[in-house]
Amino acid sequence: MEEQTVKLLLVDDEPFALLRLRSFGLAAKGFEIVGEAENGLQALQAVERLKPDIVVTDIGMPVMDGLELLKRLQTMPSPPKVVLLTCYEDFEKVQLALRYGAGDYLTKVLLSEEEFVGVLQRTADMIRKEQVDTEQLIRLLLQELLLFPADQMPDKLKQAGFIHDGYALSVIRTSRALPDEAAEDWFDAACSDPRYRYLPIRMAPDIWCLFYYVVDRESFASFYSWYYEQCGRVSDRLRSRADAGSDVDYVMSIGAVYHRTSDMHEAYSRGLALCEAGFYAMPGETVREPGTCEYEPFPPERFRSLLAAIGEAALRDDGQEAGDRIREWAELIGGEYRPVPIQVRRMAQSIAAQVESFSWEKSEDDEAGWPPERFKQAAGSALHASVLACEARQLAALMAQRKGGNAGRMRKEIKEALRLIARDYAQIELANAARQVNLSPSWFAALFRSETGKSFHDYVQDCRLDRAKSLLRTTDMKVYEVADRVGIPNSRYFSRLFSEYAGATPLDYRKGN
């Protein structure tokens, strides 16, 4: 009710008393007299029709007095506040009325405008506070009902004064959490029509449910067009912010209309599913019913081959090759293949883990952030395949330009040795590698340390442990199987080496600890 006119119904059987109340400057103070009545019976009929916020009534009236009117009003689902007008001799009735729930009272004798407006303002403040508290309670009850079906929730909603004859949900997911005040501004709906209502409900840090509902059956026929119009307004506002350079990506679903409160959980689940179906839509495009999406899985063997190629490129410090493979993956997503969104995100996270194996010179002044970390964050938050593919292409472009690699300055024998290690890290030995690059073992060992900064043994061991990290995160192989695959068949020795290298045991590393 904040910043809205407070509606008054005046009830008194004395015309002069009504005339006096009308003479006060109420409109300038934010109050509107929407009706008048001569007795309690007329007042009851007017309350049903006019829905006033405050009823100002005399206690002593014919047909139905103010006390009986007050008792009748208290039986309504959401009764208006009542301010009593009384004479001095009605003090006992005033005490009784306060017990019945009257908000305040005034003596009619020598009643001043200042005193009358002051009581109305205190009553209006009370209404506003109760409305805020009630709305918060309704939001919490709706949130619980949307998340978890519960038999008792509809009764609790009715007790809280929530009444509807139809509702519809729009679910919005954002790439990062929005502050409540920003979200309420972004998702605000025009609710000047009293037949329709709107509540924004935060379901998770990055998920909002916009709950639209109609309060009476007679208005249901035009509800959907109003709801659709409001969703269009919200979508336009979000799109304009994106066009203005906002870094918040979003996906918005527009659901069907429901009637039963018991269907709220299903409606919300459907809204979330529609958001997922929007993964292959263009950013800014809303997703509507039926919102189905035909997914095409990414062949596991093909991805494992791509991931292995990136890992082998990392061992050679070959950013160009790794970038080419990342770019290849980006072109396949949404093109030849349309995997379920969670699979795409997991693939992107695996790629980010492999890219971390490259030598990078981190710069605190780099506005774009450390490339592997930036891509990992995009993998976790991207709501659209096109956004994630764009991030992948940017990462690929940075691979060959990055600082820290020295492969381009190496002797050709050591470059060849790095390629051999990347291919045969599980079983390669120093003597065999030296023979294949046409160097003596002693000269090869010295040259390898000079060019790479590591001994041949340490370099190969790091390669094996890097590959083990990838296998632990991307496969279901047991620890001893991973150890054997990377060329360290003693699983106990492998676990000790891995813990020293990764700072976590193999099982903890797999869990992400």
pLDDT band at 366 (very low <50, low <70, confident <90, very high): very low
Q: Indicate which CATH number applies to the domain containing 74.
A: 3.40.50.2300
Q: Residue 42: pLDDT above 80?
A: yes
| Tally of domains within the chain | 4
Rounded average pLDDT over 291-298: 81
Co-location of 195 and 271 in the same domain:
yes
Reported confidence tier of residue 332, pLDDT bands at 50, 70, 90: very high
Alpha helices in 298-384 (DSSP H): 300-316, 319-332, 341-355, 371-381
More confident residue, 141 or 110: 141
Q: How far apart are CA 139 and CA 187, in angstroms?
A: 15
Cα-Cα-Cα-Cα torsion 493, 497, 498, 501, nearest 10 degrees, comes to 180
The least confident of 49-58, 63-72, 118-127, 310-319 is 310-319
364 near 299, Cβ under 8 Å? Answer: no
Domain extent at residue 363: 300-399
Alpha carbon distance 354, 180 (integer Å):
37
Mark which of 288, 310, 344 sits at the end of a domain. Answer: 288
Residues 22 and 124 in one domain: yes
Least confident of 193-197, 245-249, 261-265: 245-249
| Same domain flag for 366 and 414 | no
Domain membership flag for residue 328: yes
Number of other CB atoms surrounding residue 450 within 10 Å: 10
Q: Which helix (H) or strand (E) holds 115?
A: helix 113-147
310, 201: one domain: no
Give the domain CATH number at 493.
1.10.10.60
Peptide bond into 290 cis (omega under 30): yes
Q: Are 316 and 272 in contact (CB under 8 A)?
A: no
| Same domain, residue pair 117 and 11 | yes
Residue 430 lies in a domain: yes
Assigned domain for 153 exists: no
Q: Does residue 14 sit within a domain?
A: yes
Whether 116 is in a domain gets the answer: yes
Q: Is pLDDT above 90 for 31?
A: yes
Q: Is residue 220, in this structure, part of any structural domain at all?
A: yes
For residue 403, what pLDDT band results from cuts at 50, 70 and 90? very low
Per-residue model confidence (pLDDT) at position 249: 82
CATH of the domain at 261: 3.30.70
- CB burial of 129-161 (b: ≥16 within 10 Å; e: otherwise) equals eeeeeeeebbbebbbebbeeeeeebbebbeebb
Pairing of strands 6-11, 167-174: unpaired
Per DSSP, helices labelled H in 333-440 are 341-355, 371-381, 385-399, 412-424, 430-436
* Residues sharing a CB contact under 8 Å with residue 401, sequence separation 6 or more, in sequence order: 319
401 pLDDT more than 80: no
Radius of gyration of the chain (CA): 35
Residue 169 binned pLDDT confidence (cut-offs 50, 70, 90): very high
**Which of 122-136, 234-248, 456-470 is predicted with the least confidence, judged by mean pLDDT?**
234-248
- 390 shares its domain with 417: no
- For the segment 220-232, the average pLDDT, to the nearest whole number, is 86
Same domain for 439 and 376: no
Where does the pLDDT of residue 451 fall: very low under 50, low under 70, confident under 90, or very high at 90 and above? confident
* Res 361 pLDDT > 60: no
End-to-end CA distance of the chain: give it in Å, rounded.
50
Nearest to 186 by CA among 140, 239, 144, 150: 239
Decide if pLDDT at 365 tops 60: no
Say whether both 215 and 254 belong to one domain: yes
- The whole-chain average pLDDT of the chain stands at 83
Confidence of residue 172 (pLDDT cuts 50, 70, 90): very high
> 416-445 burial by CB neighbour count: b if 16+ within 10 A, else e?
bbbbbbbeebeebebeebbeebebeeeebb
Say if residue 304 is in the same domain as residue 278: no
Mean pLDDT over residues 465-472, rounded? Answer: 86
Integer Cα distance of 483 and 421 in angstroms:
17
Query: How confident is the model over 176-215, as pLDDT tens digits?
Result: 887 777 676 777 755 566 778 888 899 998 899 999 998 8
Cβ-based neighbours of 102, under 8 Å, separated by 6 or more: 70, 82, 83, 84, 94
Q: Are 346 and 370 in a shared domain?
A: yes
Domain-terminating residue out of 106, 130, 154 = 130
Same domain, 432 and 375: no
Which of 302, 291, 300, 306 lies closest to 252, judged by CA?
A: 291
